[in-house]
Amino acid sequence: MGGVARISVSLEKALLQRFDRLVADEGYPTRSEAVKALVREALVQKEWTKGREVAGAITLVYDHHKRSLVNKMLDVQHEFGEVVVATQHVHLDHHNCLEVVAVRGRVRRIRELVSALKSVKGLKHCALVMTTAAGDTG
């Protein structure tokens, strides 16, 4: 922890050109910032494959007029209450609701929750953003 270490990296020219395009396209201010972001992303992915405690956000879009869908989604969220940290609900328009479910816990349990939500018939979109619960990715 603390301090900055400098490393040098050797890359094939063609790979470096592609990397520089990525840096520009994604809006990273420098190559270093891009490398840091990619390393952190890899560390998060590793946390999610090693079954550690993780955190994330599940976004859902659905039609709230479909009452059986709404009830089923609430049932699922209660069933997984130990990993659901908070839920934010936004009324997008007359029909559609956006819900963001913040989750924290074991990977397997969170994946089970996402599967249970995805299996609710009539859901328009369900996506998981994986992040870290430990904050040790620098």
Under rule CB under 5 A, which residues in 30-69 are in contact with Ni ion?
A: 64
Q: Is residue 125 involved in binding Ni ion (CB under 5 A)?
A: no
Q: Is residue 109 involved in binding Ni ion (CB under 5 A)?
A: no
- Tokens coding 63: 């039609």
Min separation Cβ 64 and Ni ion, Å: 5
Min separation Cβ 72 and Ni ion, Å: 16
Indicate the residue whose CB is closest to Ni ion: 97
Which listed range, 5-13, 24-32, 54-62, 91-99, lies at the site for Ni ion (CB under 5 A)?
91-99
* Contacts (Cβ under 8 Å, ≥6 apart) of 98: 59, 60, 61, 89, 90, 92
The correct pick among 55, 58, 60, 97 for binding Ni ion (CB under 5 A) is: 97
Identify which of residues 87 and 137 has a Cβ nearer to Ni ion in the complex. 87
> How many C-beta atoms surround the C-beta of residue 64 within 10 A?
16
Is residue 108 within 8 A of residue 51, CB to CB? The reply is yes
> How many C-beta atoms surround the C-beta of residue 98 within 10 A?
16
The correct pick among 21, 46, 52, 91 for binding Ni ion (CB under 5 A) is: 91
Provide φ and ψ at 47, rounded to 5°: -55, -40
